């Protein structure tokens, strides 16, 4: 993919309402004041209203409206009918958040048109793919990465995102990596954002809400963008029909555009052979679980469509990628075999155990009490709960969420040599 120019462009100055009319396609035209009313910004947070700004009213609130007027707002955007007590120009629209995003983009000089914005959507794999892609791009691309955001109107809003992207572009940044969840769409965070790529990762049992978020993201892609979809996923045929963008597939399947085969899988991890349209590479991962391998492959596919050589991207991922369900070995002396994971749920632990099933048969693994039943049901091992640490029963699986005290106890227990490792 051809890189966009990263030329720094300052935010635009005041605009007239006439300048903003093209950004308001659903505007009730009869309510638009004409002429030279100058607008200096836009916000949906009444606490941020300053002299010369448009206030976007997303929820009917007479007190907030009065506060915005006192603070110097020059116009009101709302989905509701004009309020008789408000003397300001009232711009009634069908979708206030859509207007907010597009006008915010205009005030920030449309930064996403000067950046390569990639959006990651899906279910449990979404954040893992984003983190893997960040390992590749942040070092020299100066990628702006947004993984998690606070759940309040100011940080979720499109205005703050557009402002951060404008600053990133002015600092010669080139890439933006965004995680998209249902809450981001509800709060209009992607409105006014021009996307270069979307990376979709869904499990075969994904919730309908996660599938709908992926569809929404894909529908927003322009025709010159790229949609990265997983071959063999039951949702891929349906998702491919929702986008006008170029579809590039990835997966552990010979039919994929970016495909991988497992060359080796043992206690050290997994070694993958990856083939892309622009070259091949080998990738070694310390984690054994399937999600880590899928996240790494999706990140390599993303790097390939962004124009990075596969071997260069793989070098930045070597042994670093670990999904939230990854099983990784603790740094203990040779001969001690302890694994950790960040899995928090019964389902997550079950998926994680699949990755090391062949290497743990007949061992005792330590799990928190609330997951002991799941562990014993889903794998052919002997399992113990946290109170087994004092007895010294074999090799352990320690959940990251068990706490530092428990993990320190296990480490000390091993180092004292109180266990007979099988």
What pLDDT shows up at residue 19? 64
Beta pairing, strands 90-92 & 197-201? unpaired
**Which tens digits make up the pLDDT trace of 265-302?**
776 778 999 999 999 999 998 776 788 889 999 999 99
**Which tens digits make up the pLDDT trace of 375-412?**
555 544 444 444 444 444 444 454 444 455 555 655 55
**Lowest mean pLDDT, pick from 34-43, 76-85, 130-139:** 34-43
Residue partners of 296: CB distance under 8 A and separation at least 6: 132, 272, 283, 285, 317, 321
| Summary mean pLDDT of the chain | 76
Are 120 and 129 in contact by the 8 Å Cβ rule? The answer is yes
Task: Say what the pTM is.
Answer: 0.75
Confidence of residue 195 (pLDDT cuts 50, 70, 90): very high
For the segment 34-50, the average pLDDT, to the nearest whole number, is 80
Q: Report phi then psi at 271, rounded to 5.
A: -115, 120
Quick one: 15-107 is in which CATH superfamily? MurE/MurF, N-terminal domain (3.40.1390.10)
What pLDDT shows up at residue 254? 94
Q: Using CB atoms within 10 Å of the CB of residue 330, give its burial: 0 to 12 exposed, 13 to 18 middle, 19+ buried.
A: middle
Please give the structure tokens belonging to residue 187.
């709060």
For the segment 31-43, the average pLDDT, to the nearest whole number, is 67
For the segment 127-154, the average pLDDT, to the nearest whole number, is 70
Confidence of residue 329 (pLDDT cuts 50, 70, 90): low
How far apart CA 81 and CA 78 sit, in angstroms, is 8
Name the 3-class secondary structure at 410.
helix
For the segment 70-83, the average pLDDT, to the nearest whole number, is 89
What pLDDT shows up at residue 292? 84
Residue partners of 138: CB distance under 8 A and separation at least 6: 145
Please give the structure tokens belonging to residue 5.
């120019």
For the segment 57-73, the average pLDDT, to the nearest whole number, is 91
For the segment 296-313, the average pLDDT, to the nearest whole number, is 93
CA distances from 19 to 79, 160, 298 (A): 21, 21, 41
What pLDDT shows up at residue 87? 85
How far apart CA 69 and CA 349 sit, in angstroms, is 54
**Lowest mean pLDDT, pick from 67-76, 203-212, 315-324:** 315-324
Quick one: 111-317 is in which CATH superfamily? Mur-like, catalytic domain (3.40.1190.10)
């Amino acid at each position: 993919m051809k890189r966009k120019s990263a030329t720094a462009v300052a935010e635009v100055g005041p605009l007239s309402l006439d300048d903003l009319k093209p950004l308001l396609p659903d505007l009730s035209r009869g309510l638009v004041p004409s002429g030279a009313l100058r607008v200096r910004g836009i916000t949906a947070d009444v606490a941020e209203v300053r002299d010369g700004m448009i206030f976007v009213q997303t929820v009917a609130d007479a007190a907030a409206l009065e506060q915005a007027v006192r603070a110097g707002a020059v116009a009101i955007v709302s989905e509701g009918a004009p309020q008789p007590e408000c003397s300001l120009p009232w711009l009634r629209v069908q979708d206030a958040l859509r207007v907010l995003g597009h006008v915010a983009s205009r005030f920030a000089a449309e930064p996403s048109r000067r950046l390569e914005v990639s959006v990651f959507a899906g279910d449990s794999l979404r954040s893992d793919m984003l983190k893997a892609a960040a390992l590749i791009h942040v070092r020299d691309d100066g990628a702006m990465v947004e993984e998690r955001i606070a759940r309040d109107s100011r940080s979720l809003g499109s205005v703050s995102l557009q402002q951060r992207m404008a600053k990133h572009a002015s600092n010669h940044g080139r890439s933006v990596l965004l995680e998209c969840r249902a809450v981001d769409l509800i709060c209009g965070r992607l409105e006014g954002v021009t996307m270069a790529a979307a990376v979709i990762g869904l499990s075969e049992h994904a919730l309908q809400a996660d599938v709908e978020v992926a569809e929404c993201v894909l529908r927003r892609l322009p025709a010159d963008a790229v949609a990265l979809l997983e071959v063999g996923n039951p949702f891929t045929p349906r998702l491919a029909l929702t986008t006008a963008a170029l579809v590039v597939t990835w997966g552990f399947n010979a039919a994929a555009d970016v495909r991988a085969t497992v060359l080796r899988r043992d206690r050290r991890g997994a070694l993958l052979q990856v083939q892309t349209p622009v070259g091949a590479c080998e990738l070694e991962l310390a984690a054994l679980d399937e999600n880590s391998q899928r996240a790494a492959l999706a990140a390599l596919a993303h790097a390939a469509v962004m124009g990075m050589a596969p071997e260069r991207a793989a070098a930045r991922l070597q042994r670093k990628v670990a999904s939230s369900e990854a099983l990784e070995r603790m740094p203990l002396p040779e001969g001690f075999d302890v694994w950790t994971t960040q899995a928090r749920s019964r389902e997550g632990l079950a998926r994680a155990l699949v990755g090391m099933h062949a290497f743990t048969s007949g061992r005792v693994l330590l799990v928190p009490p609330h997951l002991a039943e799941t562990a014993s049901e889903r794998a052919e091992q002997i399992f113990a709960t946290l109170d087994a640490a004092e007895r010294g029963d074999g090799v352990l699986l320690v959940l990251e969420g068990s706490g530092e005290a428990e993990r320190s106890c296990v480490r000390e227990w091993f180092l004292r040599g109180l266990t007979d490792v099988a």
